[in-house]
């Protein structure tokens, strides 16, 4: 059994896009959810603080980079990410259209 890897990241959100972003996330496309699950991602959450989005998920697998890359090959995920890119803005230090990984500082089981 693969070890669980905890992951988190941040990205900005255009203030004018808050309602639309949250509406889309109440109605995530089934193909996107299936691709995330197939990639070994579990317990996935996105939180919003003002215009800052914080995501947390757990990965259960043996090829993190490969499994994430597989999501980007699913046509529905490509369309979803293109749509989300119109609502999001990068934070300092992040590549355009990319969530910035956040290191874990503390964890209690």
Q: Which residues are catalytic?
A: 25
* Other residues' Cβ atoms within 10 Å of the Cβ of residue 72: 11
Distance CA 29, CA 47 (A): 19
How many CA atoms, within 13 angstroms, populate the side-chain half-sphere of residue 94?
16
| Cβ proximity of 21 and 83 under 8 Å | no
Spatial separation of the C-alpha atoms in residues 36 and 30, rounded to whole Å: 10
């Amino acid at each position: 059994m693969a070890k669980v890897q905890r992951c988190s990241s941040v990205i900005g959100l255009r203030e004018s896009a808050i309602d639309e972003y949250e509406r889309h996330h109440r109605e995530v496309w089934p193909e996107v959810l299936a691709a995330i699950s197939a990639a070994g991602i579990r317990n996935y959450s996105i939180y919003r603080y003002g215009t800052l989005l914080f995501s947390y998920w757990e990965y259960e697998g043996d090829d993190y980079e490969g499994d994430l890359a597989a999501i980007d090959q699913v046509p529905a995920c490509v369309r979803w990410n293109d749509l989300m890119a119109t609502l999001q803005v990068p934070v300092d230090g992040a590549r355009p259209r990319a969530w910035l990984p956040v290191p874990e500082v503390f964890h209690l089981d």
